[in-house]
Each structure stands twice: as structure tokens, then as C-alpha cells.
């Protein structure tokens, strides 16, 4: 999972997009692995809940949040959901805070967009690490 999250982070930072060939297969692997580990229900609920939030945000403000972020929400929502609602909530709340902090740290310039995918990946990995370690 770390390799997948790292690839997504690199890609979004470099090209400012999250391609389907990275987001969707990763989400499928997460959900299948969670089901095989006996955590399919919580993972599916986490994926559905985070996707619903991100899809609604994308539809209401497409310039603020891309479709790739909504698709990534399936994978990271499933991943964190598999570890429980506390991990899911921590990651879901931390990601926008990280993106906001990065935006504040950027020097003032005309275009101040910050990719959100890296924050989603870092927040998910950190929330899981807190539970595992």
C-alpha cells in the first residue's frame, strides 16, 4: 500500500492529476484485500462514505476538488475504513487540514492551487501508522 500511496503522491505533485490507472485498480486491490482479511464491510462503508463526500464536493465546486481526488477517495476510504471508524475519521479530517496548511505555506502567487491527493495519501498512511505502531 505504501508503494501505491507513494506513486499517487508523486504523480499528483508532478502532473497535478490522479489518473484512473492508478486510482481505480488500487481501490479494487484495497477492497479485495480487506474482504479477504474479513474487513470487507467496514472497508466498503469507508470507501462509499469518503467517495460520497468527495464526489459531492467535486460536483459542487469542480475547480476546488478534482474527479481524481474523488476516485482516490474510494481507495483511501476503503483502506482506512478497514482499520475502523476512528482511523477513517482521523484520515478524512487530516487530509483537508494538510492541504490547507500547504496552501498557507506557499509563497504568494497568482495560482495558489495545491494538489489534494498527496494530503489524502499522507493522512491515510499516518492514521494507519498510529494504529499499528
**pLDDT 10s per residue in the chain (133 long)?**
999 999 999 999 999 999 999 999 999 999 999 999 999 999 999 999 999 999 999 999 998 899 999 999 999 999 999 999 999 999 999 999 999 999 888 776 666 688 999 999 999 999 999 999 9
Q: Which letter does DSSP use for residue 106 in this model?
A: S
Contact in structure between 23 and 77 (CB atoms under 8 Å): no
Contact in structure between 121 and 9 (CB atoms under 8 Å): yes
Taking only Cα atoms into account, the Rg of the chain, rounded to an integer number of angstroms, comes to 14
Residue 103 is predicted with a pLDDT of 87
Q: How far apart are CA 32 and CA 75, in angstroms?
A: 11
* Confidence (pTM): 0.95
Q: How far apart are CA 133 and CA 122, in angstroms?
A: 16
3-state secondary structure of 36: helix
Identify the burial level of 112 via C-beta atoms within 10 angstroms of its C-beta, where 0-12 means exposed, 13-18 middle and 19 or more buried: exposed
Cα-based angle 2, 45, 61 (whole degrees, multiple of 5) = 80
Residue 110 is predicted with a pLDDT of 61
Contact in structure between 77 and 88 (CB atoms under 8 Å): yes
Residue 115 is predicted with a pLDDT of 94
Amino acid at each position: 500500500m505504501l508503494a501505491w500511496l507513494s506513486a499517487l503522491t508523486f504523480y499528483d505533485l508532478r502532473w497535478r492529476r490522479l489518473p484512473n490507472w492508478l486510482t481505480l485498480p488500487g481501490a479494487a486491490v484495497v477492497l479485495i484485500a480487506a474482504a479477504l482479511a474479513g474487513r470487507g464491510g467496514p472497508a466498503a462503508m469507508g470507501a462509499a462514505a469518503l467517495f460520497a463526500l468527495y464526489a459531492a464536493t467535486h460536483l459542487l465546486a469542480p475547480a476546488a476538488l478534482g474527479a481524481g481526488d474523488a476516485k482516490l477517495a474510494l481507495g483511501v476510504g476503503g483502506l482506512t475504513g478497514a482499520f475502523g471508524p476512528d482511523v477513517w475519521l482521523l484520515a478524512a479530517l487530516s487530509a483537508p487540514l494538510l492541504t490547507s496548511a500547504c496552501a498557507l505555506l506557499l509563497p504568494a502567487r497568482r495560482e495558489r492551487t495545491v494538489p489534494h491527493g498527496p494530503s489524502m495519501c499522507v493522512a491515510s498512511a499516518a492514521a494507519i501508522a498510529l494504529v499499528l505502531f
